[in-house]
Amino acid sequence: MPHASDSRQPLVPHTALDADSVRNAYRRWASVYDLVFGGISGWGRRRAAFEVNRLPGTRVLEVGVGTGLALPYYAPDKRITGIDLSVDMLDRARARVATDGLSNVEDLLELDAENTGFAAGRFDIAVGMFVASVVPNPRRLLAELRRVVRPGGHILFVNHFAAKDGPRWWVERAMAPASRALGWHPDFAIDALFAPADAASVQLTAVPPFGLFTLAKLHN
Ligand SMILES: C[S@@+](CC[C@H](N)C(=O)[O-])C[C@H]1O[C@@H](n2cnc3c(N)ncnc32)[C@H](O)[C@@H]1O
């Protein structure tokens, strides 16, 4: 996924992207996104949706919904609102909803996940899949999700987070030069999303393949 302001157009999302850069980047990627990025990360989407489906409450916000790859996995009783900065990605998600007849998807809106404008406590659950490492300010994203999810609700992320030590640390350092082709940041630190105060209450679950991705769940 490219960085729009970089004339070399690298292929991986960077945490420093601003909103216009995100829109420009995903305008270029929308038509091939599913083909290039849909495969290996499918485990993570299915795992996150499975977890959402088990949680109490029906009002679900998916931030950075993209082309809507996860939308078919939600249970029929969940009422889904998807938001994304990229109208091009949203167009694909809308086409998927129509083609697959996903009547539980209530809204697909062009909104910034860091500043949604939704009323406080509007949702029971918020989920972000492979978006935490793309938004300009991951902690602002988390703060916004804490605001729009009701107290007692849940916030979930699935993402690749860099190992802090051990063999995976070495592997990720070795993989970093290939990150453009891989489509994610091997070195996105979990601390960039969770402040120390959050970290104690986050439940982390490794997701296949090889525990490459992590499902993070917080009780709001
Ligand atoms: C790597 S894609 C992931 C898409 C989808 N969640 C998936 O699993 O395939 C990241 C998505 O986040 C969106 N995005 C990035 N920053 C955003 C923001 N601040 N608000 C809403 N969407 C954002 C991008 O437009 C893109 O569609």
DSSP 122: -
Specify the pTM.
0.89
pLDDT of residue 176: 66
Distance between CA atoms of residues 16 and 137, nearest Å: 8
Q: How large is the angle between the packed helices 19-29 and 87-100, nearest 10 degrees?
A: 50
Task: Answer whether 114 contacts ligand 1 (Cβ < 6 A).
Answer: yes
> Which residues are registered as beta bridge partners of 219?
154
122 CA distance to ligand 1 middle (Å): 21
Contacts made by residues 40-45, CB under 8 angstroms, sequence distance 24+: 40/209, 40/212, 41/129, 41/130, 41/183, 41/184, 41/213, 42/69, 43/207, 43/208, 43/209, 43/213, 44/129, 44/130, 44/158, 44/159, 44/207, 44/213, 44/215, 45/69, 45/70, 45/73, 45/129, 45/158
DSSP string, 124-175: EEEEEES-TTTSS-HHHHHHHHHHHEEEEEEEEEEE----SSHHHHHHHHHH
Q: Which of 101, 108, 99, 84 is nearest to 26 (CA)?
A: 84
State the closest ligand 1 atom to the C-alpha of 70, by its place in the atom list counted from 1: 8
- Tell me how crowded residue 177 is: count the other CB atoms within 10 A of its CB: 9
pLDDT of residue 54: 98
Distance between CA atoms of residues 136 and 22, nearest Å: 9
pLDDT of residue 7: 32
State the closest ligand 1 atom to the C-alpha of 17, by its place in the atom list counted from 1: 16
- The 10s digit of each residue's pLDDT in 35-50 is 988 888 899 999 999 9
The list of the chain residues with pLDDT below 50 reads 1-15, 180-183
pLDDT of residue 178: 56
Residue identifier of the C-alpha nearest atom 14 of ligand 1: 64
Distance between CA atoms of residues 112 and 18, nearest Å: 11
Residue identifier of the C-alpha nearest atom 21 of ligand 1: 84
Region of residue 66 (left: phi > 0; alpha: psi -120 to 50; beta: else): left
pLDDT of residue 8: 32
> What are the structural domains, with CATH classification, of the chain?
19-219 (3.40.50.150)
pLDDT of residue 13: 41
198 CA distance to ligand 1 middle (Å): 23
